[in-house]
Amino acid sequence: MRIDRYRERPPGRGPSAAAPTPGDEHDDPGPQDGHEILRHELQERQKELRCLYTIDKLALMEFPSLEALLMAAVEVIPDSMQFPEVSCARITLRGETFASPGCREDRLELGAPIRIHGQKVGTVWACYYRKLPPASDSPFLQEEREMLEAIAAKIGLVIQLFDLRREVEEIDTTLRTVLKKIGEEQFRAAGDIARQTRVTIMPVIQDLMNVLPGHQQKHVELLRSAVMEIASPFTRQLTRKNHDLTPAEVQICSLIRCGLQSKEIAELKRISPATVARHRENIRKKLGITNRKANLGTFLRSEFEAGRDIAGPGSGLAGGPGAPGQAKA
């Protein structure tokens, strides 16, 4: 406590009253005077601590912008000064000014620099916009200087947090843009693969279907399905929308979508028709069409149209017109 400078002031005249003349009978304050001085000192410290506590609370609150926080801060500072009735505050930051009501720059003022990484970026100002009481010989206390320095340091940390948040948001926006472009490139590449597959591979498979005996065509059907799964985005779309489908169910979906019946799928997969029926039932549950009168093959083709580009219209492949066994999937 800095009580010494108040001991020179007569009681009842405030912290800046003139010192008594030598020989005065009251040049040494008595116990009652000392209590008044101590009470006044404690009241000043209480205001300063309340201000610092409020600034800390503001720093922890969620403000929509840094500007809103600074405007809230300048409204808190005046109440902590010696003469709050004629006090105001302002903060200058990077060319902008945030001031409490009635604040002007042509009066007494005390400033503390705001620094970020050692560089000054602004100032916290406490001001008196009117004349002070005649007995006041020192408008600003040392404790008020220290308070402003603490506020400036806290605001500097808050500014760094807002700057970091802005940088993170910019990075997030950039990453989203990059990921969107990557997705577009992947989609474009998938389309190119599908077109090349339709032009070069699928005609060869169709020729094999035409020349091979019936019992060997089933193997060509399986080859066709495998090629379509590689070239088509159908599998990716299906698993992305239905994460709980098993790999076996995804393959069954692909075969059903190609127009194969349960018996044909059972022969290709070397499983029993009952197993295929069980897979179909589970697939309908996971796709949410258990109680709907919807053909599973038709549903898969309508929901994932992109895969039809592989075979091309009218080719008899990928479940298009003329696909074998399409009448009932």
pLDDT at 29 over 80: no
Same structural domain, 158 and 243: no
Highest mean pLDDT among 58-62, 232-236, 323-327: 58-62
| 101 compared with 236, residue with greater pLDDT | 101
Q: 166, 186, 202: which is the final residue of a domain?
A: 166
pLDDT (0 to 100) of residue 19: 42
Per-residue pLDDT tens over the stretch 200-228: 887 888 788 788 887 777 778 777 777 76
Same structural domain, 218 and 328: yes
What is the b/e burial string over 196-216, where b = at least 16 CB atoms within 10 angstroms of the residue's CB?
A: ebbeebbeebeeebeeeeeee
Which range, of 5-19, 94-108, 147-161, 301-315, averages the lowest pLDDT? 5-19
pLDDT (0 to 100) of residue 135: 57
Highest mean pLDDT among 44-58, 239-253, 314-328: 44-58
Same structural domain, 154 and 89: yes
Neighbours of 283 (CB within 10 A): 23
pLDDT at 308 over 50: no
* Domain of 77, in residue numbers: 62-166
What is the b/e burial string over 95-116, where b = at least 16 CB atoms within 10 angstroms of the residue's CB?
A: eeebbbeebeeebebbbbebee
Same structural domain, 160 and 219: no
Same structural domain, 233 and 295: yes
pLDDT (0 to 100) of residue 156: 92
pLDDT confidence band for 288 (50 / 70 / 90): confident
pLDDT (0 to 100) of residue 30: 54
Q: Give a yes or no: residue 10 inside a domain.
A: no
Mean pLDDT over each residue of the chain, to the nearest integer: 77
pLDDT (0 to 100) of residue 307: 41
pLDDT at 314 over 90: no
pLDDT confidence band for 1 (50 / 70 / 90): very low
Identity of residue 114 = I
Instruction: Provide the angle, in degrees to the nearest 10, between the axes of the packed helices 247-257 and 262-269.
Output: 130
Same structural domain, 151 and 76: yes
Same structural domain, 162 and 234: no
Q: Give a yes or no: residue 179 inside a domain.
A: no
Tokens of 165: 């948040």
Neighbours of 37 (CB within 10 A): 20
Closest-CA residue to 260 (of 308, 317, 210, 325): 325
Same structural domain, 251 and 154: no
Q: Give a yes or no: residue 235 inside a domain.
A: yes
pLDDT (0 to 100) of residue 232: 64
Per-residue pLDDT tens over the stretch 98-132: 988 877 665 688 899 999 998 999 999 988 887 77
Q: Give a yes or no: residue 28 inside a domain.
A: no
Domain count, the chain: 2
pLDDT (0 to 100) of residue 208: 82
Tell me the pTM: 0.48
Same structural domain, 125 and 234: no
pLDDT (0 to 100) of residue 309: 40
pLDDT at 28 over 90: no
Q: Give a yes or no: residue 128 inside a domain.
A: yes
Give the whole-number percent of the chain exceeding pLDDT 90.
21
Same structural domain, 147 and 248: no
CATH assignment at residue 134:
3.30.450.40
Q: Give a yes or no: residue 21 inside a domain.
A: no
pLDDT (0 to 100) of residue 312: 40
Which range, of 122-131, 165-174, 226-235, averages the lowest pLDDT? 226-235
pLDDT (0 to 100) of residue 260: 83
| 154 compared with 247, residue with greater pLDDT | 154
Same structural domain, 155 and 91: yes
pLDDT at 142 over 50: yes
pLDDT confidence band for 18 (50 / 70 / 90): very low
Per-residue pLDDT tens over the stretch 33-71: 778 878 888 888 888 899 999 998 988 888 888 899 999
User: What is the C-alpha separation between 127 and 139, in angstroms, rounded?
Assistant: 10
User: What is the C-alpha separation between 9 and 289, in angstroms, rounded?
Assistant: 90
Same structural domain, 217 and 314: yes
Q: Give a yes or no: residue 180 inside a domain.
A: no
| 7 compared with 47, residue with greater pLDDT | 47
pLDDT (0 to 100) of residue 305: 56
